[in-house]
Structure 1
């Protein structure tokens, strides 16, 4: 069993806590989170209103990203072999979800009853030491700054209270936590409704999203012989419900749409759902957080609701555990909001689109025809399949979806023009070598702001690389570090072992879209050409020329058609500076690499370009000397030294679709230094 953590003491007046975290709701989301917290030694208590686990079938579809989450935690081994869930759909139009990534081991969708998922997740959480208390309805939350007081009422009217450091609401669409904590829950009210039931003793034709003149009908036979029926009547308004529909209501609707009588059957489970679409305006409020349907309400089209909630929990677990261990890391929890809320908003958008295609009346038939044609295009199928499967990541940078309470400090190196260019690199992956500081760090941050998942390469300074990743995550981006010392035997192999492992863990594939060769070595200032040793010369070429060549070579099998390679050169290749001759020679080699690979890779639509910075503030001590900075600034046409963000913006432009007609070029990013 994991060790018990020390209770946090954020304020001197905070009382000892009964538990570190209270999770309200023992559904799949709450139980996954409970198990994850316990793996980090966090004292965890789950409060659940139901006295016994539910027996309703409800959701049963697992997508590729969720399958990977389960595999990483050993949950798939507990669930056993799961049956293939078929090809999938988008708004009732056939869509093979394996198109998301045909090489992914869990491409497609998989079936597992929610009851089985909950049972396995509960077993895991309890084995790891989580405490589960059933039959308790939370009626009060009081965030006291240093702790939270939770009060609940039992079925017999008895009251209980729990003091904790944090509360997470995983208690579904009618979340008590969300209501009691005062979260805003904005969106759209329902306009469409669908009835569903599991019925024994009926024999009706199998139907897969069959659109009929009066509505939509679905029928699927379960292994136990019962039949899941779902029915929507065109023009029927959603009803205000306090419980499930009566079986007679389902029978009447089914007869109206299909002309078939199922009234002789025995209902095993009844349910109604609608196209309500709402989302909490923030996922964190002080010491209270939301996950799953407590944070977002949506129509359960294609099983996305369950998967979205489980992925919320997977993101939150490590962050919340880190916050429990460290008093001053509120950024970890802000990062949860910044990562998951944009993904939730994007998912709600696609579910609304699917709901219209699926349940709309005859007026949507032209739209269905157009979508049907679009789904015949490979890139469209792949994009939608990745979106549903959870493999596409965050739809945009955090700047598009600011958190109301993040309190993130301004980054003075960041580009100031972000408003109109957000999300251009959504679904893209990028490797930036030497990105623990300077131009590499600024480039990694800039690419992440545009939606790319960034691989932060470093040679030895892990703390700086981790800081780059943290800066990206604070802004709602995604990144992970990879260590590899360049210029030594086995360097490229070590680099790509980390790259491929990290990409596979996060996206389920090893596809690379953008490569930025930025890492480099320099000669000491003032070192004349006659003082360069053979060893120093070989080192410069090994890091600056040989490594980029073989990095490009090794990346080619991973690089997607239409990908981007940007090699960082130097303005020193265009004017003489004798003390940098050896360094300039290596950068000349980089420009030749760009030129020849641009011709070689053009048939694949891959562009290859060189970017040449001039004097750029890389954080070294000389830039803290005003006199030196002023002297260097005179070399630029703009009479200032460059900032790392100046170069990063140029690289980001070349990484985007707008630069698709530029290849083999030398881009002067020196601020006019080369103008003479």
Structure 2
């Protein structure tokens, strides 16, 4: 590998970039932070830290330095009062000016060894197979730097995002709030006061400064190239409230609208995005800054592990998978709030209904969890109710000492927290983790008798504080360790400083599956090739929806087998080929995905379900023909159509065709016609979906063992085997392996293809 100047270049020294720099340093990676400003910001546009962010700061031991900021238990949803208190040591909102957050994180990151270079504006970026080269213009002129990875934390107008060619779809602002910090005015405090002509907000802060925000109903957002003048704000304030604030002195003035954009991917090879560079939203309720800081916490430990060779590069895909889904959900709730907040009289009925619903505790907790970040649950396994959630706060007894769950994460290392008093279970888990002791600390502790940690024998906690596994099953623990920390014992733990480059080797796979974090639908998965495919995709790490029409027991057996082997799956029922079939299928599919991952994102579709004809052409009835077409051709078309809104760019669609489209069998003319249609689906959809990097391919099995009694007759099997170049009949796993390849990133350059999986039967 070529020599580099550092492991990671972080562009942007705002709170998100500095948080990421500190996380990378804790993981042992060398970091250079490039910032175009010559000094820290003096504008505290963001002023709120939510509960989950406060927990992250506690995990890193930063709260002692921060002190105890003003605490506000109440927040809002679209201007409607909302009690944000949930089960956390830091419930509600904490009023911390952005300037203070940036100062805190800047000192922390640089004390850990991050190098900050101010007055460096990035103007070119080039990716290579093993590095990224960045050209910046600094105080002494052009500067060239190279790193293994570059992360853009450079805000809404991200140069990294633009230079690397990331798509940034969404909607521009339709409405806006003008805001300012103003001294020398004396006006009443207003909390989201909706008046006849608009919305007015005013809050007196320290030092005689009042923050004011105003929106005139019906006034469209301007496409601004510069910030508004104070006179414009004062005019709008007079229009809405009738008050004159022109005698005030503005500290700063800006505007923000209900823009909503999110990059299609958070990673492109060796360039990643975090914070507002990855998502742009109206800063309602302080969610934007908190979302970005949590992006950094998720990415930091993963990127450090990859650049130091402790984990395969595939680990970085989980950053996009986890945080893109969270970002999408946050943008959705912010769009809803913007409509409630800035809409005119037409939204009053909706505000009234929502105000009534918030009084219900389940609704309040759901909204509070969404805004605070405490409700996040990543979809990487539900072995226990705490799996995928943040590590709950609890006081622990370790030996004769007392500590907290958050204090265990000070060094940003993973922790296996053994809680069982049963000696045998704890010893079995410690033996399991032995190959990973370089990456994971083992702590045996006693937890409170009540609460979420009263039940599991042990929990495996990632460095970002999320529970990767919980329970007592050593096999499940081993699978989680392999997924998040690579091949145990393959890499030694590096210290907090690492300056050489020759050790930055990467393993493409190690023990992590190719499909970690992906979701898949396999139709007709209760038996045969469908079952084998579901099992194989689950072994590669995918969460698999096992579709069945009538074989409920068989489908549940498939799910149970997958889960026993440490995988994830759920069954979904729908009869294909009847009216409403695809709608019924996706009702169950989306419910199952939502419960397990928090979103309805679907990465892989395998159209496997089908029915055979087995009828001579002269005996085929119109009803039989229609049934074949409905199940084998019509259903796959509309499954693809319905799946596409759920499928992110880079998805995979695999249709199971048949060797009979190339090998004549007069008893299956109608069946072969339907499978020919399936191949046309792949060909034409591949062209249609190419711009989204979604591949669509056909797999054509030959004679493959199934439940047909014919396979129990040795003479018949021998005759069928003779048709193959390998002199055997196919096994369901033979086809499943081909499907798994096409579902992987290794097959990214294959689309619209007909894959002969007949074992050479079609060779003649």
The TM-score by the shorter chain falls in which range?
A: 0.5 to 0.7
- Find the aligned partners of 1:321 and 1:504 in 2 and give their Cα distance: 11
Shift of 1:516: 8.2
Cα 1:44/1:255, change in 2 over 3 Å: same
Mapped contact 2:183–2:248 kept (Cα < 8 A): yes
Cα 1:211/1:175, change in 2 over 3 Å: same
1:402-441 superposed matches below 5 A: 429=386
Question: Which residue is equivalent to 2:327?
Answer: 344
Question: Which residue is equivalent to 2:19?
Answer: 32
- Find the aligned partners of 1:517 and 1:495 in 2 and give their Cα distance: 13
Q: TM-score by structure 2 length? A: 0.55
The number of equivalent residue pairs is 460
Shift of 1:85: 2.7
- Residue 140 of structure 1: SS of its match in structure 2? strand
Shift of 1:125: 1.0
- Find the aligned partners of 1:360 and 1:118 in 2 and give their Cα distance: 33
Range moving further from structure 2, 35-44 or 263-272: 35-44
Question: Which residue is equivalent to 1:152?
Answer: 136
Question: Which residue is equivalent to 1:71?
Answer: 58
Shift of 1:80: 1.2
Segments of structure 2 that go 5 or more residues without pairing to the other structure are 390-415, 476-530, 536-551, 574-589, 593-764
Shift of 1:36: 1.2
- Find the aligned partners of 1:238 and 1:289 in 2 and give their Cα distance: 31
Q: Does 1:644 align with 2:561?
A: yes
Cα 1:465/1:142, change in 2 over 3 Å: same
Cα 1:142/1:256, change in 2 over 3 Å: same
Question: Which residue is equivalent to 1:89?
Answer: 76
1:218-272 per-position Cα deviation (integer Å, ceiling 9, x unaligned): 0000111111000011111111112211011101110011111100110101110
- Find the aligned partners of 2:323 and 2:234 in 1 and give their Cα distance: 40
Cα 1:114/1:328, change in 2 over 3 Å: closer
Mapped contact 2:456–2:471 kept (Cα < 8 A): no
- Residue 207 of structure 2: SS of its match in structure 1? coil
1:569-584 superposed matches below 5 A: none
Question: Which residue is equivalent to 2:95?
Answer: 111
Cα 1:28/1:463, change in 2 over 3 Å: farther
Question: Which residue is equivalent to 2:123?
Answer: 139
- Find the aligned partners of 2:89 and 2:553 in 1 and give their Cα distance: 54
Segments of structure 1 that go 5 or more residues without pairing to the other structure are 1-10, 399-422, 433-453, 469-479, 521-615, 620-635, 659-676
- Find the aligned partners of 1:640 and 1:171 in 2 and give their Cα distance: 48
Q: Does 1:130 align with 2:114?
A: yes
- Residue 429 of structure 1: SS of its match in structure 2? coil
1:557-576 per-position Cα deviation (integer Å, ceiling 9, x unaligned): xxxxxxxxxxxxxxxxxxxx
Shift of 1:154: 2.8
Question: Which residue is equivalent to 1:17?
Answer: 4
Mapped contact 1:484–1:494 kept (Cα < 8 A): no
Shift of 1:17: 0.7
Q: Give 1:121's match in structure 2, choosing from 83, 105, 108.
A: 105
1:476-491 superposed matches below 5 A: none
Shift of 1:493: 13
- Find the aligned partners of 1:68 and 1:261 in 2 and give their Cα distance: 42
1:279-318 per-position Cα deviation (integer Å, ceiling 9, x unaligned): 0111000110000000000000000000000000011110
Question: Which residue is equivalent to 1:62?
Answer: 49
Cα 1:207/1:328, change in 2 over 3 Å: closer
- Find the aligned partners of 1:183 and 1:431 in 2 and give their Cα distance: 29
Q: Does 1:326 align with 2:309?
A: yes
Cα 1:237/1:465, change in 2 over 3 Å: farther
Cα 1:147/1:228, change in 2 over 3 Å: same
1:625-664 superposed matches below 5 A: 644-645=561-562
1:372-394 per-position Cα deviation (integer Å, ceiling 9, x unaligned): 00001010001100111101114
Shift of 1:170: 0.3
1:98-123 per-position Cα deviation (integer Å, ceiling 9, x unaligned): 1x32xx21011101110011111111
1:535-555 per-position Cα deviation (integer Å, ceiling 9, x unaligned): xxxxxxxxxxxxxxxxxxxxx
Mapped contact 1:430–1:455 kept (Cα < 8 A): no
- Residue 95 of structure 1: SS of its match in structure 2? strand
1:430-460 per-position Cα deviation (integer Å, ceiling 9, x unaligned): 599xxxxxxxxxxxxxxxxxxxxx9999763
- Find the aligned partners of 2:102 and 2:556 in 1 and give their Cα distance: 61
